[in-house]
Structure 1
Amino acid sequence: MAVKRSVAAGHFIVLFCIIAVLPSATAIKIYTRNKVYGVRGEDVRLSCYFWSWEWLSDDVTLSWSFRPEGSRETISIFHYNNGVPYIPNEREFKDRVEWVGNMGWRDGSIKIKNLDFTDNGTFICEAKNPPDIVGSPSSVQLVVYEKGPVQAGVVTGAIVGAVLGLALLIVVLIYLIKCLMGRRRVPVKDISIVEKGKSGKAASGRQGQVVYASLDQSSKKFHSEKKSKGVEGSKKEKK
C-alpha cells in the first residue's frame, strides 16, 4: 500500500513538472539582430522573425516600438493586426516607416527611411499568435553614421592584401636586380673576347699585308734586275 502511494506521488510530481515546463517550451520565439548600422539620409531594414508552435492565427499581432538612445521613454511606431499593417504617423517617424514583412512567412520586418541621428536607439519587436501569446520581445540597436562604418573584416582584408602586395613587389625587385646584374656581367666578358679577337685579326691582317707588300717589292726588284742583266748580255753578244 505504501509502495502504491509512493508511485502515485511520483506520477503526480512528474505531471506537475510537465505542466510547469510546457508553457515555456511552447512559448513564441522572436528573433532580431543585436545591432544594425545605417547611414544618414539612407534607408535601413529592421528584420524581425518569430516562431510559434501554433498554426498562424487570424488574430496574430506584431508591433514595433522605439526607445531613443539615453532615454527610458518608448513610443509605438508600427502595429499589425487582423491582417492589416498600421503605421502611426506621429512625431519623428512620420512617413518614414514602411512595412516590408510577410506574416505568412512569420516575417515582421519594417524599413526606416531617411535616417537621421535621432534614430539612434533601440527598436523592440513583439509578436503574439493566439493562443500562443507567451514570449519575450526581441530588440535591435540601430547606430546611424554620417558615412558607412568600416567593418573590421574590410580593414583586415586591406591589411592582408597590402602585406601580400608588398611581399610580391619585393620578390619582383629582387628578380629584376639579379637579372640586371647577370646582364652586366656576361656582356663585359663577351665584349673583351670579341675585341681581343678583332684586334688579333686586325694585327694578323696588317702583318699579312706587310709581308705581301715586301714580297711584291722583292719580286719586282728581282724582275727588274733580271731584265737589266738580259739587256747587258745582248749588248755584249752584238759586240
Structure 2
Amino acid sequence: MKPDRTGSSLWSWLRPEERIFKGLLLTLLLGGCWSPGAHSLEVSVGKVTSVEALNGSDVLLPCTFSSCIGYEDLLFRWSYKRNSTLELMFEATIKGPEYEPRILFSDYRVQFAGTSKSNNISIILFNVDFDDSGQYICYAKNPKEKNRVHRATYTLLVVSEMKVVDKTLTTIIVSVVGGLIGFLVVFLLGKKLILFAIAKSRERKECLVSSSGIDNTENGPTGSKGNTKQTSKA
C-alpha cells in the first residue's frame, strides 16, 4: 500500500540523491548575485594599481565596473585623497547601459575618457604636478542595490624624471641566447653539407667501380687474347 502524500512536503518524499542534486541546483540558482553579502556591483582599477608620471604630463586614471544584476541611474565619482579628506574631481550618472554619462561636476583639468558601452568610467588628469601625487578613489553607487557603495583606489606618483631601468643583464642574456641559436643553426647547416658531400663522394666511387667492372667484362679477363678470325682459304 502506497503512503498517502497528501498534505506532506514534497521534499520529504525525495530520495537522498535527489535531495542532494536539487539542493546543489538551488544553491547555484540562488548563489552569485543573489547570495547574501555578495557584491553584485564591482569596481576595479585593473591589476596594476599604481603608476609613475612625469611632472607636466597627462595621466589616465583607469576604472571599470561590472554588475550581474544590471544597473540603473548609476552614480560614479572620482576623488583625490588629500590627507584625510576627499576632494571631488569628477561626478556623473549613467541612466542605463545604452546611455552615456551625464556629467554633474568636473574639475577643469579632468576629462572623461570612458564609455558606458564597456562599463568604462576612466578619466584623464591633465598637466600633473608634484602636488597631484597620492591616492585617487573611483567610487560607484547603484540604486538597484539599495545604494550600496563600491570603490577602488589608484595611486599616482609624479616624478621629475623616469627611472632608467638597467638592461645590462637582459642584453647579456639575449646576446648569449642569440649566439647559441646562431651556433646551432650554423652547426646543423655544416653537418648537412658534410653529409651531402660524403654521400656524393660515395656515389662517385660506386659509379667508378661499376664502370671499371663493365669495361673488364667487355674486354675479357686480363692477359687473355682476343679471338682472331681464321683466314679463309681461297
TM-score relative to the length of structure 1: 0.52
Match of 1:118, SS state, is helix
Which structure would you say has the larger RCO, counting Cα contacts within 8 Å and 6 or more residues apart? Answer: 1
Percent identical: 24
Cα-Cα RMSD: 3.7
Shift of 1:24: 2.7
Unaligned runs of 5+ in 2: 1-8, 13-22, 96-100, 180-234
- CA offsets per residue over residues 188-213 of structure 1, 9 Å max, x none? xxxxxxxxxxxxxxxxxxxxxxxxxx
Name the structure where helix makes up a greater proportion of residues: 1
Structure 2 partner of 1:100: 113
Instruction: Tell me the distance in 1 between the aligned counterparts of 2:127 and 2:163.
Output: 17
Structure 1 counterpart of 2:170, from 147, 160, 172: 160
Within 5 Å, give how 1:206-225 maps onto structure 2: none
Normalized per residue, the structure richer in strand is: 2
Residue identity in the other structure for 1:60: L
- Report 1:47-196 matches (<5 A): 47-57=62-72, 59-68=73-82, 71-81=83-93, 83-89=101-107, 95-132=108-145, 133-150=147-164, 154-155=165-166, 157-162=167-172
Matched, 1:36 2:22: no
Taking structure 2 as the reference length, what is the TM-score of the superposition? 0.53
- Quote how far apart the aligned CAs of 1:127 are: 1.4
- Stretches of 4+ moved more than 6 A in 1? 166-169
Q: What SS does the corresponding residue of 1:131 show, helix, strand or coil?
A: helix
Mark the CA change 1:104 to 1:128 in structure 2 (over 3 Å): closer, same or farther: farther
Rg (Cα) greater in structure: 1
Q: Deviations over 1:82-140 (max 9, x none)?
A: 53123344xxxxx2111111122110000000010000110001112330343531111
Q: Which amino acid aligns with 1:124?
A: I
**In structure 1, what is the Cα distance between the partners aligned to 2:43 and 2:69?**
14
Query: Is the 2:111–2:123 contact (alpha carbons within 8 Å) kept by the matching residues of 1?
Result: yes
Aligned to 2:170, what secondary structure does the other structure show?
helix
Gaps in structure 1 of 5+ consecutive residues: 8-13, 90-94, 170-239
Q: For 1:148, give the aligned amino acid.
A: M
CA separation of 1:167/1:51 partners in 2, compared to 1, >3 Å: closer, same or farther?
A: closer
Q: 1:209 maps to which residue?
A: none
Other structure's SS at 2:128 match: coil
